[in-house]
Amino acid sequence: MYARTVDGKVLTFGVSGKLVRNSLIMYDHETHSLWSHLTGGAIEGPLQGKQLELLTATQTTWAAWQRDYPNTKVLPHDFPGQRDVYERYFASGAAGILGRKHEDERLPTKARIIGVRIMNAPKAYALDAVLKAKVVNDALNGVPLVIFATSADSASVFQRATAGQTLTFQANADGTITDRETGSTWDPLTGRATGGSLAGISLPQVPATNSFWFGWVDFFPGTSLYP
């Protein structure tokens, strides 16, 4: 997710129909510049070299989201008889129309990852590994991070330095998330402490990208990888 204001002007985006390294390319109606949806950078046109501001966002299930935000407004999206035109693509192990630019066998081609960039240092977190661990304490470029599983199929990333200390999180047998330093309980979806001495404090969320492994590697070859 990106903010769409560039140099004080609000841009309106559409799908160009073009691909770069199998990644969708957007265009803005105002200048017809082309933008990478994965990096948020303008790659061609009058705004070439400009960068959209990356915003935090959460990918999770509707049920998990509703528990914390019951009054959420929903953009209409489904209609009777709708089908997923990309079903065969997701089921296939192929890298896409253009093939891979960079081979990296550390994960299967279409393994799902959570991609994070801190001060231009990229790291990918294998979604399956995060879901298995429930909680991953890590650091990237000196910034302490925690990756929480937010459902059976999604995860979010937060900074784990807050309230003047760096916290270490753990997933407990009863399904709760607590930090070892204070024993406070935390909501993995919102990053907010729900009980204990830190109740009411929220962790700063970190912008992250949900991607296939091959797509992330094509843009960030040599990326660090968890695990």
**What pLDDT digit, counting tens, does each position of 191-209 carry?**
999 999 999 999 999 999 9
Same domain, 98 and 208: yes
For residue 29, the enclosing domain spans: 5-44
Same domain, 109 and 23: no
Q: Looking at the domain assignment, is residue 53 inside a domain? A: no
Q: Looking at the domain assignment, is residue 50 inside a domain? A: no
Same domain, 11 and 75: no
Q: What percent of the chain has pLDDT over 90?
A: 77
| Residue 60: predicted pLDDT | 86
Same domain, 183 and 93: yes
| Residue 69: predicted pLDDT | 92
Same domain, 80 and 137: yes
Q: Which amino acid is at 127?
A: L
- Kindly report the CATH number assigned to the domain that includes residue 165: 2.102.10.10
| Residue 126: predicted pLDDT | 98
Q: Looking at the domain assignment, is residue 56 inside a domain? A: no
Same domain, 22 and 91: no
Q: Looking at the domain assignment, is residue 54 inside a domain? A: no
Say how many residues make up the chain: 227
Positions in the chain whose pLDDT score sits under 70: none
| Residue 81: predicted pLDDT | 78
Rounded to whole angstroms, the Cα distance separating 97 from 22 reads 7
Same domain, 100 and 150: yes
Same domain, 88 and 121: yes
Residue 1 CA: distances (Å) to CA of 41, 136, 152, 209, 225:
13, 23, 22, 9, 22
pTM of the prediction?
A: 0.88
Same domain, 106 and 145: yes
Rounded to whole angstroms, the Cα distance separating 128 from 134 reads 10
Same domain, 97 and 40: no
Domain count, the chain: 2
Long-range interactions of 165-171: CB distance < 8 A, separation 24+: 168/137, 169/135, 169/137, 170/135, 171/133, 171/134, 171/135
Rounded to whole angstroms, the Cα distance separating 3 from 225 reads 27
| Residue 88: predicted pLDDT | 82
| Residue 106: predicted pLDDT | 97
Q: Looking at the domain assignment, is residue 150 inside a domain? A: yes
